[in-house]
Amino acid sequence: MKNINFINPLSPQKYQACSKWFRVSTFLMAITLLIVTIISIQQLHTIKETNNEIYKKSQSIKDLERIVEEKKKLSEQEKELTEQSEIIKNIQASSNKKFTLISEINKRMPKKGILKTISLNKHDFNLLILCDNTKQVEYFIKNIAALPEVENARLASMQSHEQQLMCTIKGKMK
């Protein structure tokens, strides 16, 4: 091992070579640190963008799942509403049929006849009428039986009631 001589200074050529080596190595170290820093920043930026994309994709998946759930609920509600509207249409058709039957019965009442009560259910009807004589009752039953909505109209009972005949007529609706 050589002893270092602190008393004698370095020669100017060695001093220039050392300072040149120091500057070049410092410069190269700075460039290396700069490159490493730039690469690290790019990687961190890429990681951040990837995380943002993953978050957005997961949010869009959640939104799509929510939309699918809502669509299923809406389709179930649509089915229920369709079923309910069919029921309402059937009830409406039945009500219209009954209303038509009642109005036709009123039209065919004898002039001096009185319709006291009428009861309708799904397929049967009962009429309680007051008439002056049996011919009016017979005429009324024939007119009722001729209706397209009526099937099997018949006289169920006939009683005398205050100088009139109280008749019960039963039949079936088509």
pLDDT tens, residue by residue, 80-98: 888 888 877 877 776 777 7
pLDDT at 7: 65
Q: Do 149 and 98 belong to one domain?
A: no
Q: Which residues contact 171 (CB under 8 A, 6 or more apart)?
A: 124, 125, 144, 145, 150, 151, 152, 153, 154
Domain span at 144: 110-173
Closest CA relative to residue 140, chosen from 129, 151, 124: 129
Domain end, chosen from 57, 76, 107, is at: 107
Domain end, chosen from 89, 107, 125, is at: 107
Q: Do 33 and 82 belong to one domain?
A: yes
Q: Which residues contact 165 (CB under 8 A, 6 or more apart)?
A: 130, 131, 132, 133, 134, 137, 158, 159
Q: Do 100 and 130 belong to one domain?
A: no
Amino acid at 91: I
Identify the band that residue 4 occupies on the pLDDT scale cut at 50, 70 and 90: low
**pTM of this prediction?**
0.47
Class of residue 148 by CB neighbours under 10 A (exposed 0-12, middle 13-18, buried 19+): exposed
Please report, for the domain that includes residue 118, its CATH number.
3.30.1360
Where do we find the tokens 């700075």?
30
Q: Do 131 and 93 belong to one domain?
A: no
pLDDT at 70: 95
pLDDT of 64 > 90? The answer is yes
Average pLDDT, the chain: 86
Q: What is the mean pLDDT of residues 147-159?
A: 84
Domain end, chosen from 58, 81, 107, is at: 107
CB 157 within 8 A of CB 127: no
pLDDT of 13 > 90? The answer is no
Closest CA relative to residue 131, chosen from 163, 95, 83, 155: 163
Is residue 5 one of the residues assigned to a domain?
no
DSSP code for 95: H
Most confident of 46-60, 99-113, 120-134: 46-60
